[in-house]
Amino acid sequence: MKIIMIGQAAEHEDELRSGLDSPHPIVSWPRETANSASHDAEIEPDDVVITLRWFREDRDVPPFRLLHVPGAGLDGVDLAALHPETMVANVFEHEIPIAEFVLARLLEWEIRAATMQAAFTSADWPEQYRHRTPHGEIHGKTLGIIGYGRIGRAIAARAAVFGVQVAAVDDFAIPDDVAELLPTESLPELLARSDYVVVACPLTPETTGLIDAAALATMPSHAVLVNISRAPIINEDALYAALREKRIGGAILDVWYRYPTTSDDVVAPATQPFWDLPNAWCTPHSSAWTHQLPHRRYAVIADNINRLVAGQPPRNLVRARSAR
């Protein structure tokens, strides 16, 4: 068995090796090979492929043992293009940094400590002290979460500690003592009562464009929309118009509508220039990108490979091997 690491996954070979119980050949392929058949002849039935994306237009992919996505989202994988005998697994571990990111952004949205620090000077200290500008607080606000899975729960738990009231919409989540859980049909109600709304559901045909112009129109004029899931869940043009016209308070955007597909691809993150709007805080899909995350994720992936070698099923199995 060899392990094939494609694109960004190949940057984490050391983390993977440190968790393997026995040595295996590891090969690195460029990101482009996830979308072409250029290396298919090198794939053998017992191999493990680690990649965030997997598309094959000709749908004539040889069988291999396991496709392991080094993340949770499966919107970059064309499951129909995989051989029925290929298993698929994913990995989480990103809920911790994403939850910290969301709380940090919301706290900064209210407090504006960076702005206060940048304006501080010793020469103006007396006047600055006498004319301090009041800032906000998140205590007592309402946070609406769309999707109450691992990420949604991690955000809710941390927000509740700050005295935030949490409500979530999700048709499949298990209720807990942290958030008020509502069915998805109650989304308009959730949007109308929330000071902050976090999009934390997966991208599916059902959730694509879920937040459209009509949904944005139900939000209070001061409300802040946070997207750390997938950009197309929010209609791009509708969101830009709502922000530009200040029909909502703002948006915190860490995920985008377009990504580079090759190592030298130059592409704008969106058609609309959100980054030019003062009420849009834009970051480059970095909410989960901590020093610690790859160690946790590739420890899970290594454990799954160890389990395969031992004849045990992998954890986080999304698709089992088809019975023939």
State the catalytic residues.
Answer: 285
User: Beta-carbon neighbour count of residue 31 at 10 Å?
Assistant: 19
Q: How many helices (H) and strands (E) does the chain have?
A: 9, 13
For residue 30, give every residue at least 6 positions away whose Cβ sits within 8 Å of its Cβ, in sequence order, or none: 6, 7, 263
Q: How is the beta sheet containing 26-29 ordered, strand by strand?
A: 26-29, 3-6, 48-50, 66-68, 87-89, 317-319
Between CA 270 and CA 209 the distance in angstroms is 15
CA atoms within 13 A of residue 227's CA, in its CB half-sphere: 26
- Candidates 201, 196, 152, 139; CA nearest to 178 is 152
Rg (CA), the chain: 22
In whole angstroms, what is the distance from residue 215 CA to residue 239 CA? Answer: 10
Of the candidates 152, 299, 279, the one whose C-alpha atom is nearest the C-alpha of residue 223 is: 279
> Who's near 147: CB < 8 A, 6+ residues apart?
168, 169, 170, 199, 200, 201, 202, 229
Can you give the length of the chain in residues? Answer: 324
Burial 276-311, CB ≥16 within 10 A → b, else e? ebebbbbeeeebbebeebbebbbbbbbbbbeebeee
Q: Does residue 125 sit in helix, strand or coil?
A: helix
In the structure encoding, which two tokens stand for residue 143, read together?
């946070």
